[in-house]
Amino acid sequence: MSDEDNQKYMENNRRLWEEWVPVHVKSGFYNVDRFVEGADSLNALELDEVGDVEGKNLLHLQCHFGMDTLNWARLGAHVTGMDFSESAIEQANQLAARCSLDARFLCCNLYDLPQNLMGQYDIVFTSYGVLAWLPDIPSWAKIVASYVKPGGFFYIAEFHPFAMVFDDDAQNLQYRYPYFDCGAIKFEVKGSYADRDAQIGTKEEIGWDHPLSEIINSLIENGLQIDFLHEFPYSVYQQLPFLIPDGNEKYVFPDGKQPIPLMFSLRATKP
């Protein structure tokens, strides 16, 4: 796939996210009012594995409209969030003002971030559904590593790429997408993951799947040392239609089964 094609696909996706932002801000999925009242938007997994952020400088990549970024600010971090959607950044700034929290938000394509943001951070953070929107993982990893200061770390919690090979419309595990295919995958837009009935003008979304080895090796090749890699048989989101809530804000396989990993988390430190 050419760079020109990838740029065209990413622009299509940017337009899609511009439409999704107002839907998400109003949705029960995100429940902005509850967050404003003091609830965490971050999950127990990230809170536990990232740890104490008091006084730390934190860069949040692909931050959407900033709820998680502001959650870290509420916990004492000095935060910067970036996203390629202008509407998302506008909403992030409005949410920061509504919550009386200090935060810096930047509208930028991730691959253009080095031309728009200087400095290094104690923590570079990203989470959930971010990598599938990126066509080039080695370049992503280079950018990630460049923003981690010596002694700092990068952290990601993400849906497992192996789980992405299965049909997300089927009522059981049915293979649909190749694990090692690095090409663009096109999907029909059906509302939004936060509101399936939302009326959306953009009719197509384009994603890319990336093997776990490519993600890990790209970070290592750019000077980061892997502290841990964890894999989980549950999800924080109903990735597959037959997953069931466990009552603890997780979605699991029925009957206690754990056939495949649904998520992973990784922390990598810069020496």
pLDDT exceeds cutoff 80 at 182: no
Q: How far apart are CA 253 and CA 242, in angstroms?
A: 7
Q: Would you state the pLDDT for residue 1?
A: 57
Tens digits of residue pLDDT in 211-228: 999 999 999 999 999 999
* Residue 227 CB partners (closer than 8 Å, separation 6+): 153, 267, 268, 269
Phi, psi of 45 (to 5 degrees): -60, -55
Cα–Cα distance measured from residue 210 to residue 214, given in angstroms and rounded to the nearest whole number: 7
User: Domain map of the chain by residue range?
Assistant: 36-160+211-269
User: Checking DSSP bridges between strand 244-245 and strand 225-232, what pairing results, if any?
Assistant: unpaired
> Please, what sign has the CA dihedral across residues 63, 213, 265, 236?
positive
Res. 184: pLDDT tops 80? yes
> From CA 147, how far away is CA 167, in angstroms rounded?
36
CA distance 117 to 147: 9
pLDDT digits (tens, 9 = 90+) for 65-116: 999 999 999 999 999 999 999 999 999 999 999 999 999 999 999 999 999 9
The CATH number of domain 36-160+211-269 is 1.10.3720.10: no
Q: How far separated are the first and last CA of the chain, in Å rounded?
A: 35
